[in-house]
Structure 1
Amino acid sequence: MQALALHPDGHADGVDVSPYALERAAAAAAEQGLTDRLTLHERDARTYVPDGDYDLVLCVGSTHVFDGFAGTLRTAGRHVNSDGILLIGEGFWEAPPTPAALAALDAKPEDFPDLAGLVDVAEGAGWTPVYAHVSDAAEWDDYEWSWVGSLTEWALDNPGHPDAAEALTVAQEHRDQWLRGYRNLLGFATLVLRRAR
């Protein structure tokens, strides 16, 4: 929606399997007056086939859908036109992972490269980074606290809901995995990529 706001002649498609996420996106689009330029699709992004190529394709924090960063470069990248931009947000090791970090993420060391390795993977797939934003510790903390905090608040505000106890447990487990596992070890970068010529 930010891209649509910046480009008044643009049109966008949003793809997600979550009806809730799509409902929230539709409400936000209506609030911003973007409904006529945004089409939402409830389906698996791996099988989404657009009518044409896009000037911009975004996949931030969802590369697991395409089996990781390399798979996202391949799958999401096929929808980008020859002069277009692929914007991907992906994790990377800021420091060598500890056993606690690997357990918290249910990961292996090779599941994430370091930042230089992330760039190498992109370039190896024919994409050239033209810019990247590396989230700092404060941004990561804000993201994680918002994630666990919103779920915790919902559970505390809805104690009679059948899912409240489970939501509280999930939030607490995630918080512990982050604070005692991967905090300050797993970083996050959003890369702006163009095809190599």
Structure 2
Amino acid sequence: MLCVGSTHAFGGFGETLELAGRHVNADGVLMVGEGFWQVPPTPQALAALGAKPDDHTDLAGLVAAAEQAGWTPVYAHVSDAAEWDDYEWSWTGSLTEWALDNPGHPDAAGALATAREHRDQWLRGYRGVLGFVTLVLRRI
């Protein structure tokens, strides 16, 4: 079972583990990608993300939450700064390019504004504060 970057759609990390776990065999694996605070969140990061400090935990807290829910990591990959940068530049850049290539489209100006707003939130807000880990989990 796989859930990367979308635990919010299921009510959060713990709820995702519970719901997804219903579809994983007893000896199966669950792969979950989740954000965590690399450092304590700054006011700028919280504002950019529309988040509260307790919306995420640090990496150790995330692992502890998985174990409390009956799962344990057998592997993990923490995305580094270059991977985060590639992700953010890719989606904001793709949206910007589309808007510039389609200036007559009724959504072009909005797309350009959305890309600029998100890029600024990332660069001036949560870059270096919010981390991302992909956990491969098995039941304890």
Runs of 4+ in 1 over 3 A off after TM superposition: none
**TM-align CA RMSD:** 0.6
- Where does residue 121 of structure 2 map in the other structure? 177
Q: Say whether 1:147 aligns with 2:91.
A: yes
Aligned-pair CA distance for 1:92: 0.2
Q: 2:112 aligns with which of 143, 149, 168?
A: 168
- Where does residue 38 of structure 2 map in the other structure? 94
Aligned-pair CA distance for 1:76: 1.6
Aligned-pair CA distance for 1:139: 0.4
- Equivalent AA in structure 2 for residue 102 of structure 1: L
Identical pairs, percent: 79
- Give the whole-Å Cα distance in 2 for the aligned partners of 1:65 and 1:154: 27
Give the TM-score, by structure 1 length: 0.70
Q: Say whether 1:59 aligns with 2:3.
A: yes
Question: Which sections of structure 2, spanning at least 5 residues, go unmatched?
Answer: none
- Equivalent AA in structure 1 for residue 95 of structure 2: L
Aligned-pair CA distance for 1:84: 0.7
Aligned-pair CA distance for 1:120: 0.5
Higher RCO (C-alpha under 8 Å, 6+ residues apart): 2
Q: Say whether 1:158 aligns with 2:102.
A: yes
Question: Which sections of structure 1, spanning at least 5 residues, go unmatched?
Answer: 1-56
- Give the whole-Å Cα distance in 2 for the aligned partners of 1:173 and 1:67: 26
- Where does residue 24 of structure 1 map in the other structure? none
Q: Say whether 1:82 aligns with 2:26.
A: yes
Q: Say whether 1:137 aligns with 2:81.
A: yes
- Give the whole-Å Cα distance in 2 for the aligned partners of 1:187 and 1:97: 11
